[in-house]
Structure 1
């Protein structure tokens, strides 16, 4: 009696593919070997047997595209030439981040002060949050 891949097996294999680790190559041979553990078979299933299952095929294509997109994203990032350069860059970015957090905190304090003082002066919250008026600049033809 030939072995069959059940719907439950199909779902487990598709889930295995969706959670495939980034550091490992995603190819059909590796999937077949991984599917052998899921199926609890003595031998791995063939690529053709797995490729016939739509959910496995879709999971493979989606994960493959996700890995490619991540690779494109990482290849566009500038890479430091040395560990020291990377450490300096991290340090600089952390300092910049701290500076921006401090600036944001000061701006929030000013905004709260303005809202508080405006409320005391009798302006409602709706009036304070009203959009700015649009300014219609005259066209150049109006000056001639």
Structure 2
């Protein structure tokens, strides 16, 4: 009796690929070895057998794209020269983040106060949130 990969196996293998740990390299050999445990086979399935299953193929390609995008994003970030530099930068960013959160909170409070007072004055919330009118520049006079 030939071994088959059922739909349930296919979903479990695709889920394994989606949850692939970041520190480990994603390649077909590793996926085949991981699939062996899910399938309960003595030997791992072939890459071709897994590649034929659409859910597995799509999950593999999506995870590869995600890992490549993360790697590209990390390559653009400059590395600190030392641990001390990194700690200083983290501290500075945390302080800046806290200051921005406080400022945002104050602005939200002010916006709520303005909306409340405008509502008391008879303006509806929809009227207050209407977009600003566009300002048109006067056209240059035509020479005759």
For normalisation by structure 1, the TM-score amounts to 0.84
The corresponding residue for 1:77 is 77
Correspondence 1:142 to 2:129: no
Deviation at 1:21, TM superposition (A): 1.0
User: Tell me, which stretches of 5 or more residues in structure 1 are unaligned?
Assistant: none
Q: Specify whether residues 24 and 136 from structure 1 end up closer, same or farther in structure 2 by C-alpha distance, changes over 3 A only.
A: same
The corresponding residue for 1:123 is 122
Q: How many residue pairs get matched?
A: 142
For residues 37-76 of structure 1, give each alpha carbon's deviation from its aligned partner in whole angstroms, at most 9, with x where no partner exists: 0011111112222222222222211111111111111111
- SS state at 1:92 partner: helix
User: Tell me, which stretches of 5 or more residues in structure 2 are unaligned?
Assistant: none
Q: Specify whether residues 95 and 41 from structure 1 end up closer, same or farther in structure 2 by C-alpha distance, changes over 3 A only.
A: same
Deviation at 1:93, TM superposition (A): 0.7
Alignment of 1:1-144 (within 5 A): 1-120=1-120, 122-125=121-124, 126-139=126-139, 141-142=140-141
